[in-house]
A = this chain, B = another copy of it.
Amino acid sequence: MTTSTELAPPAPAPLLGIGRAARECAVSERALRYYQQLGLITPSGRTPGGLRRYSEEDLGRVRRIRELQTLLGLNLDEIRVVLDNDDRLAKVRQEYRSTRTGAARRRELLEECLAIHQATAATIDAKLAGLKRFRAEVDGSLERVRGLLAELDSRAGLVSR
């Protein structure tokens, strides 16, 4: 007789307890519960006894939250919007893939994706522009200083000759 693992499709998807999950995402257990409280994530399972079990996808979502916090400086309210967009995109993808979705509807769905992604891109570009300006300023200073140093070098060369 074959074992059940031989019959299982690809992998059994090992759900993690909150402790492992937290370490994996470099956040606290409290943070995970807090995010859940705000409706940002929901562990994809619970044990019969009520312990949270996180899937790899859940972890991705958590990592996403942290990125949005640290990179874009969004607060959890704004992040909720982004995650809602993510969910919407997933649903759209699903419907798009369905064989009984006609071309017209598909176009609609694609347009929606386009709009969402463009909005995201705009948000990022705004931050990016500010940062680049910032960086350019520093680079200017850097070049000026380098120029002066080079000048000093050449002058020293002349004098020592």
> A interface vs B, CB < 8 Å?
67, 70-73, 103, 106-107, 110-111, 113-114, 117-118, 120-121, 124-125, 127-128, 130-132, 134-135, 138-139, 141-142, 145-146, 148-149, 152, 155-156
Contact = CB atoms under 8 A, between A and B. Distances in A.
A125 B121 contact: no
Contacts of A110: 145, 148-149, 152
A71 B142 contact: no
B114 A142 contact: yes
Given A67-B130, A73-B70, A149 B117 contact: no
Contacts of A107: 149, 152
Contacts of A131: 71-72, 124, 127-128, 131
Contacts of A146: 114
A71 B127 contact: yes
16 contacts: A67-B130, A71-B127, A71-B131, A72-B131, A103-B152, A103-B156, A110-B145, A110-B149, A114-B149, A117-B141, A117-B145, A118-B142, A120-B138, A121-B135, A124-B135, A128-B131
A131 to B, nearest CB: 5
A141 B124 contact: no
A138 to B, nearest CB: 5
A141 B127 contact: no
Given A73-B70, A73-B73, A134 B145 contact: no
